[in-house]
Structures are given as C-alpha cells and as structure tokens.
C-alpha cells in the first residue's frame, strides 16, 4: 500500500487542485490493447481531418499550468507541462508516440482532455509519495537518462518518495526509476487539474475513461482523489 499526500504548502498555494489517482493491480502490459489503439487512431484521424485540435497554451487548462510553473520559478515555454508538450508534438507530427499500452493509454486520455497525466510503477516506489516543494537537495534521474542526476530548484513542486524525486516541475517529466514498462504490474496513474471548480467534472470523466481502458487488462482498478480538503489517499 502506498500513500499519496498533498503537502499543506502546495494545497495552500493551489487551493483548487484536484488529482485523480487510478491504481491498477495485476496489469498485463504484454497483451494487445485494441481499445487503446483505437483511441489513439481516432484522435489522430480527428486531427488530420480538422475536427479536433489538442489544447495549447491559449487554452485555460494549459494556461493555468503555465501560471503555476512561473509561480515556482520555471519558464513554461522552455520546460513545458507534460500535456502541453505532448499536444504540441501531436499537432506537429500528426501522431502520438507508441511506447507501451499503459503509457499510450494515459497519453491518449491526457491530450484528449487537456489534462496532465503521469504514472508510477509502485513496485519501484520507496515508502509514501508526497507532492511538495523541493528544498534543493533532492536527487532526480530523468526518464530515459539512467546515468543523469539532477537537483530540483528550491521551491519547485515535485512528487517525491523516500528515495528521491519522482517528477520535476510538478508534471514536466517523470523519473527513470518508477517508469512504467510492459513488465509493470502495479501502477498508479495521475491526472491533474488546478481548477477543480471549473474542470472537476472533466477530470472525473478522464479518470473514468482511463480506468475503462485499463479494466480489460488488469485484475483490479481503483480511483481515489486528492484535494486540499482530502489531501491523502492510500492506493
């Protein structure tokens, strides 16, 4: 069991935060996921036909994250929120990356709904996870760069466990240690909004969609929500 907790200081700074945590147990990443493939192809076809565009920095959902990044000293046009970077890549190339079924699922849900998403292999998480401000001493190894070690800037918002940093700049990039692969069987996915009053329904719809994509390929799923009013959840 892993506890996810929203630190008081983060809750105070972003009082309308809502985070959906979708946990899958017994995930089967080596089998075909036709529903996920269909969602990816549908998004790409809608983009090609002009029926849909991913949210960009002019959209209130993305703009809110740019404002948050600036508040803790990150330039969001140089270091972009994950959903912003993914949407820009999709708009430019016309396709989303195919990484593995679980990652492809949350990427599709993320860009469809304009919400940042990430995931953590809980078998590689040490202790509980706290969403907090960095003090500058923590170590982070970026996804895909196992020999690189970075130190988040003091005040930067991070996900952190007992062994180090799991995300930098809140949701810009995940850590290599807790990356989700086809071999991952126990995973928590996160979807986030800074404006629950406006976008809470959208977030819950996205969480249900992601849970639906996972359901046929896992033994069990559960959804929990973190907010300033409910800052802790056990996954």
Q: 152: which DSSP letter?
A: P
Closest CA to 19 of 143, 210, 195, 213: 195
Check if the beta carbon of residue 90 is closer than 8 Å to that of residue 111: yes
Closest by alpha carbon to 129, among 12, 9, 235? 235
Q: In this predicted model, what pLDDT tens digit does every residue of 82-127 receive, in sequence order?
A: 999 999 999 999 999 999 999 999 999 999 999 999 999 999 999 9
Are 87 and 63 a contacting pair, CB within 8 Å?
no
Backbone angles phi, psi at 166, to 5 degrees: -100, -25
* Alpha helices, H only, the chain: 8-13, 34-49, 60-71, 82-93, 101-113, 196-215
3 state SS of 86: helix
**Per-position pLDDT tens, the chain of length 235:** 999 999 999 999 999 999 999 999 999 999 999 999 999 999 999 999 999 999 999 999 999 999 999 999 999 999 999 999 999 999 999 999 999 999 999 999 999 999 999 999 999 999 999 999 999 999 999 999 999 999 999 999 999 999 999 999 999 999 999 999 999 999 999 999 999 999 999 999 999 999 999 999 999 999 999 999 999 999 9
**What pLDDT shows up at residue 152?**
97
Nearest in space to 157 (alpha carbons), one of 175, 177, 142, 171: 171
CA dihedral 99, 213, 131, 11 (to 10 degrees): 140
Q: Count structural domains, the chain.
A: 1
Torsion of CA 2, 68, 168, 197, to 10 degrees: 30
| pTM score | 0.97
Comparing C-alpha atoms, which of 67, 79, 103 is closest to residue 152?
79
Which residue range is the domain that position 91 belongs to?
Answer: 3-234
CATH number of the domain bearing residue 129: 3.50.40.10
Q: What is the pLDDT of residues 130-152, one digit of tens each?
A: 999 999 999 999 999 999 999 99
């Amino acid at each position: 069991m892993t506890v996810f907790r929203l630190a008081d200081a983060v809750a105070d700074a972003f009082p309308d935060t809502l985070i959906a945590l979708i946990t899958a147990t017994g995930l089967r990443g080596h089998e075909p996921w036709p529903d996920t493939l269909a969602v990816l192809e549908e998004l790409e076809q809608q983009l090609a036909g002009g029926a849909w565009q991913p949210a960009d920095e002019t959209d209130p959902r993305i703009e809110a994250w740019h404002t948050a990044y600036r508040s803790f000293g990150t330039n969001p046009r140089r270091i972009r929120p994950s959903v912003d970077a993914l949407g820009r890549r999709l708009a430019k190339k016309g396709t989303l990356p195919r990484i593995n079924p679980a990652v492809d699922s949350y990427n599709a849900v993320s860009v469809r709904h304009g919400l940042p998403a990430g995931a953590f292999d809980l078998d590689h998480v040490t202790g509980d996870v706290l969403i907090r401000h960095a003090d500058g001493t923590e170590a982070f190894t970026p996804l895909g760069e196992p020999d690189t070690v970075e130190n988040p800037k003091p005040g930067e918002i991070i996900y952190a466990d007992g062994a180090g940093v799991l995300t930098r700049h809140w949701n810009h990039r995940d850590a290599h240690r807790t990356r989700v692969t086809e071999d991952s069987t126990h995973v928590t996915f996160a979807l986030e909004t800074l404006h629950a009053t406006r976008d809470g329904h959208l977030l819950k719809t996205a969480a249900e969609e992601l849970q639906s994509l996972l359901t046929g390929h896992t033994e069990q799923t559960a959804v929990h929500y973190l907010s300033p009013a409910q800052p802790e959840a056990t996954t």
